[in-house]
Amino acid sequence: MRRKKSALIFLWLLIAALFWWAWRDISLLQVWDALSRLSILSLGILLALNGAILLLFSSRWWLIIRALGYKIPYFPLAKYRLASFGLSYFTPGPQFGGEPLQIYFLHANHQVPTDTGLASVSLDKLLEMLANFTFLSIGIMLMAWQGFLFQEMTEIVVSFSTTMVILLVGYLLALLMGKMPLTWVLGLIPLNKRWQTSLRATRQTILNAESQIGAFCRQQPRILIQSSLLSALIWLSLFGEYALALRFLGLETSLINILTIIVFARLAFLTPLPGGLGALEAGQVIAMQSLGLDPVFGVSMSLFIRVRDTLFGLFGLWIGSAASHKNSLTSNNNSSENKNKPVFGAKSPTKP
């Protein structure tokens, strides 16, 4: 308990230090002057564009679910993914935590087996991470080529991103060959009497999910290619959104500069801070300084991203809460109806 409390205190001290560093030479008036350049129309355009990109995020998952044999409409899946985003955004860690919610909604609302839901969400996340780390590796190498990064920083980040790409590709290849890496790792854990039943059930669920992902990769190569193209389209959309936001703020810059700003933003979300809190702000200031631009744009951009993502995250949590409450009411009503139904074949009581 004491270690957990100490870790929490350290986390918030780190966030405070990052915020102080990002804002140390910048006043609120400067940030207000920069943000006031965003008109109501430009804000509406940016929010609408980001909403469209959030809808596009569900496209890979929708393709995978359909290929697995479940014809679920697109918009319910988009709602589940937005709810997942809301939970992940406010959870400490690199944008994980909401995936079990997606599996729950698939099972509760569409009767998708848990292992199939796990397979669909896991494959979608694998392809997303593969695209993200590939983009980061290429982006950082381009930035290093332009001399925007210290050599030591370049080596560390490129090594990390490249290692992640190799691990993800290796995992997919292992599944393609019929291997079950996660199931094998779980099999190495000694069975404890207290956790024996739950560990075996978890191992069986993961075994079934890995089997389905492996079969999917072997039988649906066209869907994998389409999913990869969708990942590229998502990144192009994000690039366009950043370029448009910077232009609305009054900063017209080169493509490589926009790439640098995006890379620093994505690296912030890989930190173990909820929503990249503090890391996003500091990273955007570092990006602007490395490009020889006014750091006010960095703080302004990070503030815009923070408000936008917080609004969408809260909306996602509201959607998830409303859907969970609806499922709970439906489950209670079904339970009451079943309780009041007469048992088939039972004799009704005779009147005296």
Give dist(CA 140, CA 23) in Å, integer: 25
Which residues lie below 8 Å from residue 253, measured CB to CB, with a gap of 6+?
246, 291, 293
Tell which residue, 268, 277, 310, has the closest CA to residue 16: 277
Given a cut of 90, whether residue 59 has pLDDT beyond it is yes
- Report which of residues 66 and 96 the model is more confident about: 66
Is 313 part of a structural domain of the chain?
yes
What pLDDT sits at residue 153?
64
For the chain, percent of residues with pLDDT exceeding 90: 15
pLDDT at position 149 over 80? no
- Per residue in 77-133, pLDDT (tens digit) is 999 999 988 888 887 666 666 888 999 999 999 999 988 999 999 899 888 888 888
User: pLDDT higher for 267 or 352?
Assistant: 267
Digit-coded pLDDT (tens) for 2-28:
777 777 788 888 888 988 998 888 888
User: What's the pLDDT tens digit per position in 24-33?
Assistant: 888 888 888 8
Residue 2 is assigned to a structural domain of this protein: no
Quick check: 346 pLDDT over 80?
no
Contact 85, 98 (CB under 8 A): yes
Q: What is the mean pLDDT of the chain?
A: 82
pLDDT at 144: 72
Q: Is residue 340 part of a domain?
A: no
Which pLDDT score, from 0 to 100, does residue 58 have? 92
Query: Has residue 98 been placed in a domain?
Result: yes
pLDDT in tens, 195-248: 667 777 777 888 888 888 888 888 888 998 999 899 999 999 989 988 998 888
Q: How does pLDDT run across 33-51, given as a tens digit for each residue?
A: 888 888 889 888 988 898 8
Instruction: Output the pLDDT for position 271.
Output: 80
The burial of 257, by beta-carbon neighbours within 10 Å (0-12 exposed, 13-18 middle, 19 or more buried), is given as buried
Per DSSP, the chain holds a count of helices (H) and strands (E) of: 14, 0
Residue 106 domain flag = yes
Q: How far apart are CA 86 and CA 250, in angstroms?
A: 30
Are 231 and 282 a contacting pair, CB within 8 Å? no
Q: For residue 271, tell me if it sits in a domain.
A: yes
What pLDDT, on a 0 to 100 scale, did the predictor assign at position 79? Answer: 92
- How many other β-carbons are positioned within 10 Å of the β-carbon of residue 194? 8
pLDDT confidence band for 72 (50 / 70 / 90): very high
Q: Is 22 domain-assigned? A: no
Over residues 291-345, the pLDDT tens digits come to 888 889 889 989 888 888 888 889 888 988 887 767 665 555 554 444 444 433 3
Count of structural domains within the chain: 1
Closest by CA to 79, choosing from 317, 328, 309, is 317
Position 148 scores a pLDDT of: 63
Query: Residue 71: is its pLDDT beyond 70?
Result: yes
pLDDT in the model for residue 331: 54
Can you tell me the distance from the alpha carbon of 324 to that of 125, in angstroms, rounded to the nearest whole number? Answer: 23
193-203: pLDDT as tens digits: 666 677 777 77
Whether residue 272 lies inside any domain: the answer is: yes
Provide the greatest CA pair distance for the chain.
Answer: 97
Look up the domain containing 119 and give its range.
Answer: 27-324
* Amino acid found at 182: L
Residue 171: closest CA among 140, 125, 233: 125
Q: How far is 11 from 180, CA to CA, in rounded Å?
A: 36
